[in-house]
Amino acid sequence: MLLRALLAFALLGSVLATLGGVLCAQEGLRKRTSKEAIVKANTSKEIAEAVGTRIDNFCASFQAFYDGLGLDKKSDNKIVARLFDTQAEFEQYFRRTTGEDDPPLAYFDPSLNALVLYDDEANVTLRQTLFHETSHQFLERYTSDAPKWLNEGLAEYFEGWRMTPEGKLLEKRVNLFDLVLLQDWLGGEKTLAPRELVAFDDEHFDDYAKQHPDLHPYLHYATSWSLLWFSLELSKDPKDKQRIVSFLKELCSVGPSARFEVKDWNDLEKRWKEAILALQAKPVDAQDFVALAAGYAQGDDYDTAAQLYQEALAKDPKLPGVQFELGYCHIRRGYVDEAMECFTKARALAPKESEIPYWMARNLLRLDQEHQDGADPERALALAEESLALAGGASPAVFELIAYCHAAKGDRAAVDRTIRKILKLVGDEDKPYYEELAQRLKGK
């Protein structure tokens, strides 16, 4: 479970942007259809079908939720997903099509009208992110006019639920990171009031971080979640739940002219704040610690994230992916020896995962450190070649890492041979980058 739950992945973003390639180009897309989903993937048939089954089960939970609110569907649109075999090719697609540098774990691509994600069967956070993203498409069966605060609030509401690996509901739970974040800000002098949130148009919601640089960049999501959780799960006044239900029904019937009406914001916000602050915001099991660690890593607080990953391992030493994520945090903190120790343990738990030896090799080359003191290109090359074999033998990104290893050894001929292999794999638009890279590496 490569819990790259960083959602933004600041380091990986800069690293793979520098790499200019992906583990392997997405070729051979095949379409698999399940009851609720169309999955277009270059993964194995078994993986694509497992994702389709997971989406089917997610939809069953969504259907039960909306049936409980008394909403009537307008359509039965399929949930469309584009599934990449590796995280790297997913991230390359994201950068190429959006022009942005910080890929999430999964997202909705309007140009494809599809969820876009990558395969990692054991990744709990990726599974919950898929649950979040699927909820957006499912809501389209009822209305396409929900304002962002409601749409994202519902998605965050669902994302907090505990699900099985197959996508079945185990327990409705709070969104723990949202709760911790919100409680922290509610205790300070500045926060985001619900009345301000619901006044945001979609553009303001999307541009929130720039509009409100004095607030946490995720606070609008946490506040959206809290307003839904309070109204649907906490409030003792049935009018609060009915207000959400009525708004959803009005959106279904009259669209964007629907209005979220609150007669007394002072009373609502007072009861909302008291109820949210009264909730227990402490992790209980290993997955809770992972969820919190992911949130802190998203905000580049790798010290806190590392501590939380360590606490997750204390609860469950074999929880898949946590050793890898802890190693990744150590790289971000500049602790290369500690990172290698974690990656070694991660590899013992997941020996067929190509990304682990890839990052071990990068770490041995010190590519992500300010200084390359202590670099070991021989060991790095051996690990990079192992990563290449696990990735199928045709990965521009791993070949590039191999070229860096040869450059560190001073083998210019090997750099040339490796770059030629890359040029046979990439499109014309990427060739100038690799040709320039060859000259740069040979100049070292």
Cα→Cα distances 77→74, 134, 311, Å: 9, 12, 42
pLDDT at 197: 97
pLDDT at 100: 81
Q: Is pLDDT larger for residue 86 or for residue 348?
A: 348
pLDDT at 4: 36
Tell me the per-residue pLDDT of 247-262, one tens digit each, with 9 for 90 and over.
Answer: 999 999 999 999 999 9
Tell me the per-residue pLDDT of 159-177, one tens digit each, with 9 for 90 and over.
Answer: 999 999 899 999 999 999 9
Tell me the per-residue pLDDT of 274-289, one tens digit each, with 9 for 90 and over.
Answer: 999 999 999 999 999 9
> 33 in helix, strand or coil?
strand
pTM: 0.82
Mean of pLDDT over the chain = 88
Is the pLDDT at 317 greater than 80, yes or no?
A: yes
Cα→Cα distances 188→171, 192, 211, 274, 307, Å: 31, 11, 19, 14, 24
Non-local CB neighbours of 410 within 8 Å, separated by 6+ positions: 444
> Exposed, middle or buried, 217 (CB in 10 Å: 0-12/13-18/19+)?
middle
Is the pLDDT at 321 greater than 60, yes or no?
A: yes
Distance in angstroms (rounded) separating the CA atoms of residues 168 and 315:
24
* Beta strands 79-84 and 37-41, pairing class: parallel
- DSSP labels, 336-390: HHHHHHHHHHHHHH-TT-THHHHHHHHHHHTTTSS--TT--HHHHHHHHHHHHHH
Tell me the per-residue pLDDT of 43-94, one tens digit each, with 9 for 90 and over.
Answer: 888 989 999 999 999 999 999 999 999 999 999 999 999 998 777 678 777 8
The tokens of 293 are what?
A: 């660690």
250 with 258: CB under 8 angstroms? yes
The share of the chain scoring above pLDDT 70, in percent, equals 93
pLDDT level of residue 121 (50, 70, 90 thresholds): low
Quick one: how many helices (H) and strands (E) in the chain?
A: 21, 7
Is the pLDDT at 95 greater than 70, yes or no?
A: yes
* Beta strands 107-109 and 114-118, pairing class: antiparallel
- Nearest alpha carbon to residue 2 among 335, 249, 359: 359
The tokens of 43 are what?
A: 């993964």
Lowest mean pLDDT among 19-23, 99-103, 365-369: 19-23
pLDDT at 13: 34
The tokens of 268 are what?
A: 């609502």
Distance in angstroms (rounded) separating the CA atoms of residues 161 and 61:
10
